[in-house]
Structure 1
């Protein structure tokens, strides 16, 4: 991504440190971080994709525009970029606040690491110590960029004695001789420190360097280089025995996936600018067959292994037991075809046997005994002691590569050919080869799959296959797992003894796991002087474990019985509850039916009551109407008689009586009419409604007319009465 080694901006480092290169999708996350970094570097001003890319170019960061623009559009559509009508976008305030928090956390980590570094300069002035830290910080950033994934060794190792990739002496020589030793001591203590802030700080630099280096050169750059210089590059790789086992799937090793991926990638990329030749020597074939024979002899007593013991074994033994268990066969039967057809299997993978008798003879004639002794001394210091033949194979293979690399006559004109040994043996790679490179002031001749994949990334564009290769190599670095070979052999001996029992397959897997986890037991098996003593040790422990399992089984049975009792009680309660629930449902239906019958009865009684009420109401109305008609007829008759009496001139006394009765009858009629109307209004029957309309007709007689008639009658009565008195 960058064509020069320069100090990274702190904001960019803070963003890149969160890129998870060990997961799929790391490239999308990387370019997402680069888009965010462009806004941090520009003050979060609104920009188009081209302007954002230009900001990174001004900082010396070269990106693939197609992928950058694609990620920019995705972030503008789905966040956290907020676009405007002009096609520009900026970071949302929420995302900006989140990023600022991440930057502050990273700055806190840097400050804590700085304090750890400065704590080793008690005798120096504070300003001088600060300047030393600034130079050391820049030195580590450049180291992370140049070393790439190998920078992880600085983080994971507890001693710098085995770390030759970073030249601390040259850094310390840049200071005055008076403080040189102080600076060297401070740098050494800082890199060997177990402080968490130091580890986080170094890992942040590692993440940033990996992210930058992983993108590699673009396809156009590769084409330009090839056309300009006309160089045909090729790589000759000699596969170490452990790489052969990883490639064939014989070795349960952390580098197995990375080895397969990088070699498969090489086979796919033939005739694409870089030609890679894969070779093995006859010595490597013989060593591989020797290892397989040894494992056959070791695994033969095991028979079928029904237990999963993958976590306690490694290498060929773990893979053979695991794969044989899957197909229900013995590890010996599964492993035998690899011994018989090893050469054909390698040829099918595109690996040829290197055959240059003259050169091989020259290498064998060299005095390699000193190198062998030196290598064995190194192994005894940090690792277990290896056999003479194994060390001789590695040293001879290394000497062959050195001879090919330095033999100019072997190369064709106009071509560049590099020769390496591809190995995943850390003793071979990180001890012998590096020590020889330092002592002889020469390049290294042994490379691991991670270094090879990083090398290939500069020749091939970062497509999906290249990304998978880089991802596999990084994962192998981060998840390396070590095994104790001596303890593995002790576990295999113990499994062989257990497998001899007739009912070995019935032994619970938990018992086997407990026995394999017990280091004291495996140590006792390893220190036993005879096979009979080993059998007695394993038998006693099996008895103890089976007794414990029997007791646990008895406890489980008691728990099962208790649970069954509780389950029976619970079932009885549930059954009783179901019965009560069913009885309640029956009672509820009975009560509902009873309520329905009562409601029907109430409805019938209400109907009868309404009928009786209507009957007596009609009787009441009829009586009222009858009385009203009698009064009406009486009043009419009285008025008629009164008129006749007046006309006929009857005596005054009779006239007065008749007049009084007429007035009284009229008043009673008027009063009964109003009362009848008010009463009929309170009755809601159809009959009374019709009668009400008829009575209303009587009520329509004007009151003033009735008063005039009554007043006239009263006046006549008074006049007659006065006349009678006068007479």
Structure 2
């Protein structure tokens, strides 16, 4: 390992790229770019980002962020032109005004320190030179040492080596200052910075540390990685399903088409950092060949008018639609699907996708074994159809069963078992990990992916990892472990950290506006009620996370918070009333205490009344459903003697049963959400391990640095000692990340073993 410091940088970048920081950073990049250029076509956005920030975003990742921002209505698109929404633009303008005011305050504090504390009455251009050089020193410090630079610069954070500045950074930065007396003064300013740092200065340092971390999440420096890391971060063999080949050969319309092509391109362009072999089985090639017969009716001689009429009808399958859309766009350049399949082996080989001959291995698995697994697949499909039919019948929705032909099922299961058997053969006693099992499948088939997940075992063997993934999922994972695409890494870094809003989260402000607007729409405008809700960071953080879910119900969420606040004030009121009743001291003391408690009681009674009113305005239909169920249940106990009355009772009973089913579904949904929340909390705890990882890292660095107090003087021994500490720590931490964030088996087991809260269990018992 040639450069231990750079190695740590890369590991840090890989770690932070796996978190939400990367996505949030991309969001800020898109927002800031659109703010600078006002508007642009969607296809040109990546180029403008490169101009503004000097790095090229991965297009699939950029598309995902743009779609998210459009959904959030933070940006708008009209006639393929992207721009900021009026609300977002207003938020950005407000942030920029605040940033400019803070910068003026920091500059004034800098001038006052030089003049009043150091006693130097400099000219305006001299102060400006020192100020610009000082900022450059800060940027260079964070560039060289990452967010750890704050330890030297921040007065409340003690630096491990006791230095007040970075000598190497200082010597490079001071080259901008010619006058010796100004150089001496500048060095003194750096030494004394913690003494004169204002609140605005400290906030600026914290922002720089955050921006440095955010920039790291975009990827590590490519040329540094050449000498410091094992290039085989990923060492896999990916088998492509038939439907993925359809996408690569442009045979059908599918939402994952671009992801399929982008995944192959990513693998081909990053061979230095990821080692991925692309394969498709000969059984897949045979299935692809059989598809040719389905294209006999596709006529490439049809007129444009006929084609437009067919496309307008929206009755064409994905293959026909793709072919005829291609004909309309480029009749000469669009080849017939049958011809495309005939040329497929050559086309795919050009894309470095090789055919794998697996006949002997499949024969080794045995026909009986494969057939037994196919039957398991069909049992799974039948169970899904039964559950789906029951749900559709209850909702009175037309039911269409999931179907899978015998040939398709045989192909899918054979491919799955082939990959599992290949994993076993490859492992040879190695410890189970993503790289050691090597073999994975890429498919667009949701049913196959769901079945595969249902078969995951908790035995810490090859079956403890999923076999199949969607291209978009793998694409999202792989881009996070690649270097940033930039010609000048330092230039990109400086542009990022000097940008006013680089990863400047404005979501809290928008969430407050959403909550207040909702409360207003419900007629809730009491100042205390509104303030108590929006002033809680924990509540706002939870609201923001929950609001990202597709099934988020703002009314239910806010009602639950109102209920919590209502119970809190109700408990306070009860305690105050008890205290008031038990006051038995002397007359004067009792009068004073009573007066104080009466005042508190009056305030709490007012709060309770306000929350009662608020809860009435956002009450849920679940309560009315429960009352209906209770009423129906009481009717069942009445012994009607007349035939007509009995019939009526029976109808009421049936209604009650339907209502019970609805309530059960809702309660089960709540249980599922509770399990998901528990899993997310468990996953977040992973990052607490940084509390011991980071100290261990610095402990290892202690042995690397050639300090006088270092007990090991030999350089080789220092590196060996540091590696002995660092490597196990990093591996353990990465294992924890993989185990909790990527391992679907562990996540599934966590959910299954979750103990449901007593409240939800009681609700289920009440429905029995």
For Structure 1 versus Structure 2, the TM-score category normalised by the shorter chain is: 0.3 to 0.5
TM-score normalised to structure 2 length = 0.34
Pair member with larger Rg: 1
Structure with larger RCO (C-alpha < 8 A, sep 6+): 2
Q: Normalised by the size of structure 1, how large is the TM-score?
A: 0.36
